[in-house]
Amino acid sequence: MCGITLSQSRQKTVYLLNGPNLNLLGTREPDIYGAKTLADVEAECATLCASLGVALTFRQSNHEGELVGWIQEAGLSGNNIGLVINPGAYTHTSVALRDAISGTGIPTIEVHLSNIHKREEFRHHSYISPVANGVILGLGTKGYSLALVAMNDILDKT
């Protein structure tokens, strides 16, 4: 007997990771990113995940290596685990994040608060999009909720 029931082994978990400067939500360029803080976003996501029966691991880091470590932790920790990630500026620069997602094979949804295609030219390219199941952008913090619902559906199919 392994000590894990079927219901425990099938528990869906979503890692919701936020990249650099997202800790400044609510104060950093609110005309672009909105007035909600990251704590507000976390509370909304936790409520939604509880209603979906999904465990949530919510984290933010300004450090690329820490984000890579968390992606690996999520991707290598078993079945029924998904990733929702707002990589912030690392979207446009980080092959390391892309390789961590690709290397673990974790189902992934990329989220951006603003429409990166309506912004500066350098923001138009994403290293994450080609290895993501989907991309949600330009809908503000509502994008997180949409991504969590979509990830729940993806995990239901695995």
Report the catalytic residues: 33, 112
Question: How far is Cα 64 from Cα 52, in angstroms, rounded to an integer?
Answer: 30
The residue type of 126 is S
DSSP state of 18: E
- Cβ atoms 144, 34 nearer than 8 A: no
Assign 138 to helix, strand or coil.
coil
Structural element, H or E, at residue 145: helix 142-156
- 144 vs 7, 9, 77, 84, CA distance in Å? 26, 25, 22, 8
Spatial CA neighbour of 109 closest among 140, 133, 77, 139? 133
> For residues 26 and 121, what is the distance between their CA atoms, to the nearest angstrom?
25
